[in-house]
Amino acid sequence: MIGWRRWVHLGAILATIVVVYFVVPVSTEYHRTTVARGAVTVLALGLLALGVVRQLKLHVDDTSRRLDGLIVIIVIVMIVFAFGFYSLEQRDPTEFDGLETRLDSLYFTMASAATVGFGDVHAEGQFARGLVLAQMVFNVVFVGTAVALLSSRVKEVASMRAQARTTQRNPK
């Protein structure tokens, strides 16, 4: 895909991820499958980590690759943690202070990822603090690496474009 179609495609994927986040139902009742669902969640986070590692490896090994997959995986990571925070708050409202809606959860996730930490939403319970700690580690290890890679790739592309413009203006 080239040009505007690529950006429309990427925007559609990101919009779909965000819409799914806002419409997926959250059950507040404990079922006999709660432990199994918890295990599946841990497995899903592990697979997500592997997906991030794969995307990072692909982009490190092949600098000609587009960054779309890396951007999508970072957004998915943020959405997964936001959903986890929201689900936890729905099950036990004492786990977070100031977190009531999905938007609050997404806001808290992004503020934590950006290391802003306004303090208006914060973890109160031990399980919530553990989940926030997991997000912090994930952000430092995976998202930090991805952002550094994105930054270096943007600089590389900007440098190549500047060099191409200079070559076009001053042909030898």
3-state helix, strand, coil in the chain (%, to 5): 75, 0, 25
Q: CB atoms < 10 A from the CB of 109, how many?
A: 25
Distances (CA, A) of 104 to 53, 73, 143: 28, 21, 21
- Looking at per-residue pLDDT, the higher value among 66 and 126 belongs to 126
Contact 51, 73 (CB under 8 A): yes
Identify the structural domains of the chain with CATH numbers, from first to last. Answer: 3-169 (1.10.287.70)
SS3 27: coil
Segment holding 32, helix H or strand E: none
Residue 165 has pLDDT above 90, yes or no: no
Which two three-digit tokens encode residue 120? 């208006």
Nearest CA to 50 out of 82, 68, 73 is that of 73
Residue 1 has pLDDT above 60, yes or no: no
Residues 140-164 pLDDT 10s: 887 778 778 778 877 887 888 888 8
Residues 64-81 pLDDT 10s: 566 777 778 788 888 989
Contact 123, 105 (CB under 8 A): no
Q: How far apart are CA 46 and CA 171, in angstroms?
A: 52
SS3 137: helix
List CB contacts of 93: < 8 A, sequence separation 6 or more.
Answer: none
Count Cα neighbours of 18 within 13 Å in the Cβ-side half-sphere: 10
The predicted model scores a pTM of: 0.70
Q: How far apart are CA 52 and CA 77, in angstroms?
A: 9
